[in-house]
């Protein structure tokens, strides 16, 4: 009758488990803020890309019709594929001149009052981007 387990069946000690859990905790403390910042940068890039595409469509519409569009979804339907489903990402985006990212959940793309430029909420493409470093 064998009372002791073989050395090959030995498990992890409590100290070993605590060390591994501590290392994972430290790595997550470092990684989570970087991941969060990456999401904000990705959202900002998507809004900039969408506004750039919409501004190009506005310029093409103006060149072909001699006037600026009055409604994004109806006037630019032939210029942007699936324009009815084009919307900003939910989450935060960077705005130039502001220290904190702004939440754009629920915002929509639209036109400036004169119809010459696309906007997201109340901001145009020149308002989005990383903080300028001086």
Give the model confidence (pLDDT) of 85-96 as tens digits.
999 999 999 999
Residue 7's pLDDT is 55
pLDDT at position 45 over 90: yes
Residue 98's pLDDT is 87
> Which string of DSSP letters, residue by residue, matches 6-34?
-GGG----HHHHHHHHHHHHHHHHHHHHH
110 vs 62: CA distance, rounded Å: 16
Give the model confidence (pLDDT) of 14-40 as tens digits.
899 999 999 999 988 888 777 778 899
pLDDT at position 133 over 60: no
Is the Cβ–Cβ distance between 79 and 63 less than 8 Å? no
- Listed by start position, the domains of the chain span 16-127
Which element (helix H / strand E) includes 75? Answer: helix 72-75
Least confident of 5-9, 102-106, 118-122: 5-9
Residue 1's pLDDT is 45
Give the model confidence (pLDDT) of 52-67 as tens digits.
999 999 999 999 999 9
């Amino acid at each position: 009758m064998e009372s002791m387990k073989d050395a090959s069946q030995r498990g992890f000690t409590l100290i070993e488990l605590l060390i591994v859990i501590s290392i994972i905790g430290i790595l997550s403390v470092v990684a989570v803020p970087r991941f969060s910042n990456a999401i904000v940068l990705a959202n900002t890039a998507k809004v900039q890309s969408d506004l750039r595409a919409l501004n190009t469509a506005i310029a093409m519409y103006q060149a072909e019709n001699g006037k600026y569009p009055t409604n994004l979804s109806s006037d630019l339907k032939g210029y942007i594929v699936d324009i009815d489903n084009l919307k900003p990402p939910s989450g935060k985006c960077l705005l130039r001149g502001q220290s904190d990212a702004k939440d754009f959940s629920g915002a929509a793309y639209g036109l400036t009052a004169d119809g010459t430029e696309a906007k997201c909420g109340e901001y145009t493409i020149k308002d989005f981007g990383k903080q300028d470093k001086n």
